[in-house]
Amino acid sequence: MKTTAFTSKHIELGARMVPFAGYNMPVEYFGINDEHNHVREKVGVFDVSHMGEIWVKGPNALAFLQYVTSNDVAVLTPGKVQYSCFPNGKGGIVDDLLVYCIDEVTYLLVVNASNIQKDYDHLSLIAPKFNITPGKELYNASDEICQLAVQGPLALKAVQKICDADIMGMQYYTFKKLTIAGIENAILSITGYTGSGGCEIYVANEDADRLWSALFEAGKEFDLKPIGLGARDTLRLEMGFCLYGNDIDDSTSPIEAGLGWITKFSEAKGDFLDKEKYLKQKADGLTRKLAGFYLLEKGIPRKGYKVCLEDGTEIGEVTSGTMAPAVKKPLGMAYIKPEFAKVGSEIFIKVREKLLKAEVVKTPFYKV
């Protein structure tokens, strides 16, 4: 099992460690609900060093990324970040990712931990068609970089104390290269996965101890605490954000998942993998649609639970569900037949052979 540059810190602090995506990761420190609410109210730090980082460089980088991702990379300028996905050539999704535009010929792709090798292999098959060589212009740097996500309404105030440039005025989905805790050329981005504000910090593994120590020293006055991956999942679910492996995967399309906004069919975007499949899906209509719901009776919806009509007819399946700590309601997301996925529709979740009433609602569940 792999470790991150911060694994020893988690163990020293008494975190409950679990295997996750091949890594030994902290799932919780002082209780998932308490950690969740701490991020909503103050500031918490997540070790997300297990995430993958893949560089794409050279004069053909843009053309390559335009073909392998669903969003329009050409709209990016240096310092901007974009959410996107990799179509798999069969109408599904290889992974969802962030695209960082470093400059006109240099891009950083941040991908999910469980898909690093899968993503790199997928890209490596297509790269030579664009005169991009795997291991050279396409480079997997995942084992060289660590990442901390500092999240919560007080996050930027804490991090600002260790930065050599202003970060308080940064816009959503932007990044800066700056010196953090004396570490030069660190990357700080504002993308967020919790809905409570904050930033992500990328440094080389050898600078991990320096960053951790400086951050926790700076964060003392803001009651900064380490947070586990359990709360990271409940936080993202309250925002209605898709999790790869649950809400999206190789069998789901971005159109079905409500990710049409990252699937661009403009002339400027041009051709891309699965473009015709997605256009046909839009024209023919969906057979299922990802929707959010509140459970209206006592119970907790879980991944894999069936979605039904009152008479027991199955119309879908839950992909993510929990008792949301900040919203204080049982909620989830599910793929449902489109005619039953409209906001306000009454549906039923089959929990231990009992049909519990639920209502389709608009996401995000948590309103800032």
Residue 40's contacts (CB-CB under 8 Å, 6 or more residues apart) are 152, 153, 194, 196, 235, 325, 326, 366
Q: Is 364 helix (H, G, I), strand (E, B) or coil?
A: coil
**For residue 261, what pLDDT is reported?**
97
**Would you state the CATH architecture of domain 7-50+144-238?**
2-Layer Sandwich (3.30)
Please state the length of the chain.
368
**Predicted TM-score (pTM) of this structure:** 0.96
Domain 287-361 adopts which CATH fold? Elongation Factor Tu (Ef-tu); domain 3 (2.40.30)
pLDDT recorded at residue 367:
87
Structural domain spans, the chain: 7-50+144-238, 287-361
Say how far apart CA 157 and CA 140 lie, in whole Å.
Answer: 32
**Strand 354-361 to strand 289-295: parallel, antiparallel, or no bridges (unpaired)?**
antiparallel
Q: What is the pLDDT of residue 368?
A: 75
Q: What is the mean pLDDT of each run of 10 residues along the chain (368 residues)?
A: 97 97 97 98 98 98 98 98 98 98 98 98 98 98 98 98 97 98 98 95 98 98 98 98 98 97 94 97 96 97 98 98 97 98 98 96 93
| CA nearest to 48, candidates 154, 151, 119, 167 | 151
Q: Give the dihedral of Cα atoms 244, 248, 253, 256; nearest 10 deg.
A: -140
